[in-house]
Amino acid sequence: MERVVLVTGASGGVGLALCQRLLEEDGRIHLCIACRNEQKSEATRDLILATHPAAQVSTVEMDLGNLASILRAARELRCRFQRLDFVYLNAGIMPNPHVNFKALWHGLLTGKVLHMLTTAEGIMTQTDRLNGDGLQDVFATNLFGHFMLVRQLQSLLCGNEKPSRLIWTSSSNARESAFSLSDYQHAKGQESYSSSKYATDLTSVVLNRKFNGQGLYSSVVCPGLVMTNMTYGILPIFLWKLLMPIMWLIRFFAKTYTLTPYNGAEAHVWLFKQKPEYLDSLVKYHSCTSGLGRCYVEPRKMDVDEDTAEKFYQKLLELEEQTLEKYRDLLD
């Protein structure tokens, strides 16, 4: 049977490029794309089929910031498939980003500007909000929605003849300093995106510990700095146009400036070809691009505390139990 690959956040950016690149690697896969609404799903499917007309591409409507939508989609997927070979947990949001130009200028004076430009540390904040489920929107969409999806699809992911894979899109902006166990939804801070991505790293580490024995393996990737709708929301478009020549030059010194979605998907595609048993669960795989445009993958040890990861996982389970009480009618 063909391998079944589910991709969330497939309608644009890295997600869409990933779908195209996976079909270039193996045109026999069954690709299932998850988008927020039916219109986006169908438009994305048509776009993919325009370049890969013989591909098997199906759609599922799923809003990662809406728990009812996740539960309905998971139920549909359980009815449709007997197993899932790959789940790319790629969807994400970064609402209302703000750049701290004063901090950026200080970084320029202190020689830390390259580090700041490659990690956004100290120069980028976000304004978050509560969603319809009473959860912080960034936490819910970037992490908890995906966690709930994995939990609901466990029967399709565990105990198969061949290993199943979870591949999370994290970020170089994932930092321990932005995350707190006492405020893991990041309701009190202004770095919700960074917090959610560090929470992603923690979650992946624990999932390996819990489920490797059942044939489920989890990996984390960083696409680098990619120009997508999310990135374009940080600064006005005219500024990006002015900055682009400079960014192409920076890539000679900052290999994580992948810039294009195609390049940003390099680590995702590389993991598609690896045997999970030989991967390090404490490593994040970074998409990199040389100054001359050569794409490659660089593994880097994650700065995660495994004890914190375990405690956070227990908090996720507690939150899952609380939230599922509201949606008993959507459970089997």
Query: Is 278 in the active site?
Result: no
Of 127, 259, 268, nearest to 187 by C-alpha is: 127
Residues near 207 by beta carbon (within 8 Å), at least 6 away in sequence? 150, 166, 216, 218
Distance CA 6, CA 37 (A): 16
Which residue among the candidates 193, 217, 262, 285 is catalytic per the annotation?
193
Distance CA 171, CA 181 (A): 19
Residue 235: strand, helix, or coil: coil
Residue 244: strand, helix, or coil: helix
DSSP state, 123?
A: T
Sign of the four-CA dihedral 220, 225, 230, 234: positive
Distance CA 179, CA 181 (A): 7
User: Alpha helix (H) ranges present in 111-235?
Assistant: 113-119, 137-139, 145-152, 154-157, 192-211, 229-232
Q: Where is 23: in which H helix or E strand?
A: helix 13-25
Of 227, 261, 215, 249, nearest to 17 by C-alpha is: 261
Residues assigned a catalytic role: 193
